[in-house]
Structure formats: C-alpha cells, structure tokens
Amino acid sequence: MTTVSDMLGAISDVGRDSVRGGYSRPVFSMAELELREWFTAEATKLGLEVSTDRNGILWGWWDAESGDRTGALVTGSHLDSVPGGGAFDGPLGVAAALAAVDVLKERGVEPRRGLAVTVFPEEEGSRFGVACLGSRLLTGAIDADRVRNLKDPAGNTFADVSRAHGLDPKHLGRDEEALRTIGDFIELHVEQGRALIDLDSPVGVGSSILGHGRWRLTVQGQGNHAGTTLMADRADPMVVAAQIVLAIRRTAASQDDARATVGRLQPVPGGTNVIASRVDLWLDVRHPDDSVTAALVESIHGQAQKAAAFEGCSVTLTEESFSSTVHFDAPLQRQLQNSLRRTTSEHQVPALPTGAGHDAGVLAGYVPSGMVYIRNPTGISHSPEEFVEDTDANLAASALADVLEDLL
Ligand code: GLV
Ligand code: MN
Ligand code: MN
C-alpha cells in the first residue's frame, strides 16, 4: 500500500521554486500539469476511472455496483499552490483521498454509492486572481464569461490557456450533471494555524470559513525620470501605495477579528531609476461579518483617495472576488467528529473555524460539505515552513477512510 508520505515524497521535486523557496505550482503550469499526470497514474493504479470535466476538474471514480453516480460521496482538494508555498496545502488532501480509497479497498468495503476523488484547478487564484475558480465554475458561483476573460500576469486569458490544455472555453461554467453527482463533499487539509498543536490533537473538523475577498487598487501617477524630477514636482504612485499599505494595517488592526493584507504590489514600469506611472496593489480582507468587511474596504478606499489626491495621483478600487462567511453543515460536522473518534481512540475531535478559503467552502453553498484538518507543527502556511509529520500524514489516510466508510 502506498502511504500518504510516500505519495508526497514522489512529488516533492515537482515545482520547487529556487528563487522564492518552497513550491510554485500555478494552474496549468508545467508543475501543475505534472501533478495532474501523477494523480491520474496513482488513481488509475487504484482502479479509479479518471476523467477531466469541462471546467478542468479531475475526477477519479470508484463506482457502486449500480454504476449510478448520482449523490456520490466526493473527496479531494487541489494541486496548485501559492507562489513559494508549502508542500501540503492541497496535495495532502489529494494524497490522503487516494490513500483512503486504498485503505477502504483493503478493508473490503463495497461502496453503496459512488465515491469520487477530485482535484480542483486554480484553488489559490495565484495565476488568474480568483481563488477556488474550479469549484466556482462548477457551481456557477462565478460568471463563465468573466472567467474566460480573466488574465494571468503575462496577459494570457483563461480561455486561451484552458483551450491550450484541452478544454473548450465555450463549455466552462455551471455543470448540472457533475453537480448532481455530489451528494456530500469532504476536503481534508493541512491546518493553517496553531489550533491543533495547542489542543494536542492530530485531527480536527471544520466549523466555518471566514468571509473573505480580494480587491485591486490601481494608483495612477506621472511616470518620470528619477534624476531630473524635483521632489516637489512628482506625482509618485509608489509613495501613495506605501501610505495605502500603512492605512490598511491601521484600519484592520482597529477592528476586532479583521485581517487585511497586501501581499502583492506591482509598480509599472518597474525600473530603479524610473518614477512609476502606476502601481497596482492587491488587498485581501477577511472578517466574519460581510458588512464589516464592506465598511473596512470603503474606509481603506477613502484613505487611499485622500493620499492619492495629496500626491497629485488618482486611485481606483476593483473587487476581484468575494466569499461570504460559510458555516459547514452541522449534522455532517458532528458525523465527521464521531467517525474521527475511531481514528483518535475516542479523544474529542475539535471543531475549528478557519480564516483560509477552500473549495469545500464554495461547495458548501450547494451540497453538504465538511472539512478534516491535520495538525501542522509550525502553525505556518502559504510558506515553505508549512509542515506535517509523516505519522500525521499517514494518519490522514485512515482518518479520511474512517470518515468515508461511515458516510458511504
Ligand atoms: C486560500 O488558501 C486562501 O485562503 O486564500
Ligand atoms: Mn488549500
Ligand atoms: Mn492555500
């Protein structure tokens, strides 16, 4: 039997980023395509029937005797990463799903309904800017036309890139047939904080996902020469951007439970001896109450406009995505906790809220969905320091198998 740690070991060289450290595996990059091939090979070895749907989601099917796929049990995660990300965010859930199928087969389980393992594309939104793009397309939570026109940093549209990888962009969007096959969705994931470490528990279940969104602020100024332009004569968007970053920190820090981040900022044209003509910065805001998030963004926009006007610049704000707070299906959550007591020898299994977005959060608006978290001793994620001990990675397979067996 191939263990989860063996599987993760087999892909540990794919998409390593020698500049940033960790892994950079954007959707439809060489690295992500190699991981898709790895998934197909592993799933095929397990006897699953693998296909790619019209939104680029990979499915590995273990059919019930009836062959009816309606209302199946579906589990999976993603294989793309943030730039310079860790080895576990996404791949742990995929590897655990494959290993769990192996465990169930070893246990002699005959599925009474179909079981599928899925891989969702562009969960991180690190290439086309919108996170959970695959699950948003599948459910129709995002307009397909908008997705076709999304551009990556090199200016390629999602339509062109997906076409180059065998999809027909005309057929992107809500997929009723695929949706009907999902009876329940379970995503196993590395924990992205310290809760399980502090509670001394190897596993937990998801209770909620914090509402979150992404906005782009574009500061327009006057590009000019760094040597010949007097300080008093400048309209420098970088100076405005710096003030916006500080305003964001101040604004979020003054609001309980708020998180706001600028993790990406791009001066145009970006030369050492060039005053930028434009700076784009991306704002990530999260809060349990959507109206508070809206007020925070409005306040940040107001402060940005003031800073821009003072410098002789202008600023525009564009919402790129938004997801309301999600509360996972309570009966399913309790059922997961009960099943996981088997894995943890009757210890209480904590239910955790998280500030991280997941495809399970998008799917929760359409089908009963749940999450299983695996302890991360560093408590760090979206960073090369994200970590899971081999024993916990392998426990993930039996934990997920326990959950799936009960749900089947
Ligand atoms: C995805 O991991 C997110 O929370 O942005
Ligand atoms: Mn993830
Ligand atoms: Mn992530």
CATH number of the domain bearing residue 28: 3.40.630.10
Among all bound ligands, the one having the nearest atom to the CA of 86 is 3
Whether residue 64 sits in one domain with residue 197: yes
Among all bound ligands, the one having the nearest atom to the CA of 130 is 1
Domain boundary among 323, 348, 370: 323
- Say how many Å lie between the CA of residue 123 and the centre of ligand 2: 7
Determine whether the shortest distance from the Cβ of 213 to ligand 1 is under 6 A. Answer: no
Determine whether the shortest distance from the Cβ of 122 to ligand 1 is under 6 A. Answer: no
Q: What is the mean pLDDT of the chain?
A: 97
Among all bound ligands, the one having the nearest atom to the CA of 131 is 1
Whether residue 388 sits in one domain with residue 244: no
- Say how many Å lie between the CA of residue 360 and the centre of ligand 2: 10
From the CA of 132, give the closest atom in ligand 1.
1
Question: What percentage of the chain carries pLDDT values higher than 90?
Answer: 98
Residue 288, preceding bond cis, omega within 30 degrees? no
d(CA 209, CA 327): 7
Region of residue 164 (phi > 0: left; psi between -120 and 50: alpha; otherwise: beta) = alpha
Determine whether the shortest distance from the Cβ of 85 to ligand 1 is under 6 A. Answer: no
The H or E element that residue 142 is part of is none
In testing the pocket of ligand 1, which one of 77, 92, 124 has its CB within 8 Å of the most ligand atoms? 124
Domain boundary among 268, 300, 323: 323
- Say how many Å lie between the CA of residue 199 and the centre of ligand 3: 22
Whether residue 227 sits in one domain with residue 175: no
Question: Alpha-carbon torsion 256, 380, 95, 161, what sign?
Answer: positive
Tell me the β-bridge partners of 157.
151
Per-residue pLDDT for 338 more than 90? yes
Kindly write down the DSSP assignment for every residue of 210-278, as one continuous string. --EEEEEEEEE---EETTTS-GGG---HHHHHHHHHHHHHHHHHTSTT-EEEEEEEEEES--TTEE-SE
Domain boundary among 323, 338, 359: 323
Q: How many C-beta atoms surround the C-beta of residue 228 within 10 A?
A: 7
Whether residue 14 sits in one domain with residue 101: yes
Among all bound ligands, the one having the nearest atom to the CA of 93 is 2
- Say how many Å lie between the CA of residue 236 and the centre of ligand 1: 32
Whether residue 195 sits in one domain with residue 88: yes
- Say how many Å lie between the CA of residue 301 and the centre of ligand 3: 26
What burial letters (b/e) apply to 305-327, b meaning 16+ CB within 10 Å? Answer: bebbeebebbbebeebbebebbe
d(CA 11, CA 8): 5
Q: What is the mean pLDDT of residues 179-192?
A: 98
- Say how many Å lie between the CA of residue 185 and the centre of ligand 2: 15
Six token digits for residue 330: 């309570």
Residue 346 banded pLDDT, cuts 50, 70, 90: low
The H or E element that residue 74 is part of is strand 72-78
- Say how many Å lie between the CA of residue 284 and the centre of ligand 1: 10
Residue 347, pLDDT score: 76
Q: What is the mean pLDDT of residues 289-295?
A: 96
Residue 8 banded pLDDT, cuts 50, 70, 90: very high
From the CA of 381, give the closest atom in ligand 1.
2
From the CA of 382, give the closest atom in ligand 1.
2
Whether residue 131 sits in one domain with residue 17: yes
d(CA 355, CA 191): 11
User: In which domain, by residue range, is 128 found?
Assistant: 4-210+325-407
Count of structural domains, the chain: 2
Whether residue 184 sits in one domain with residue 76: yes
Residue with tokens 């309790």: 334
Nearest protein CA to atom 5 of ligand 1, as residue:
357
d(CA 193, CA 259): 14
* pTM of the complete model beyond 0.75: yes
Nearest protein CA to atom 1 of ligand 1, as residue:
357
From the CA of 89, give the closest atom in ligand 1.
2
Kindly write down the DSSP assignment for every residue of 278-303, as one continuous string. EEEEEEEEE-SSHHHHHHHHHHHHHH
Per-residue pLDDT for 115 more than 70? yes
Residue 348, pLDDT score: 85
Whether residue 76 sits in one domain with residue 28: yes
In testing the pocket of ligand 1, which one of 262, 287, 382 has its CB within 8 Å of the most ligand atoms? 382
> Phi and psi dihedrals of 311, rounded to 5?
-95, 0
- Say how many Å lie between the CA of residue 356 and the centre of ligand 1: 5
**pLDDT 10s digits, 294-310:** 999 999 999 999 999 99
Six token digits for residue 275: 């005053």
In testing the pocket of ligand 1, which one of 81, 321, 358 has its CB within 8 Å of the most ligand atoms? 358
Per-residue pLDDT for 90 more than 90? yes
Up-side HSE of residue 330: CA atoms within 13 Å toward CB?
0
**pLDDT 10s digits, 347-405:** 789 999 999 999 999 999 999 999 999 999 999 999 999 999 999 999 999 999 999 99
Whether residue 77 sits in one domain with residue 16: yes
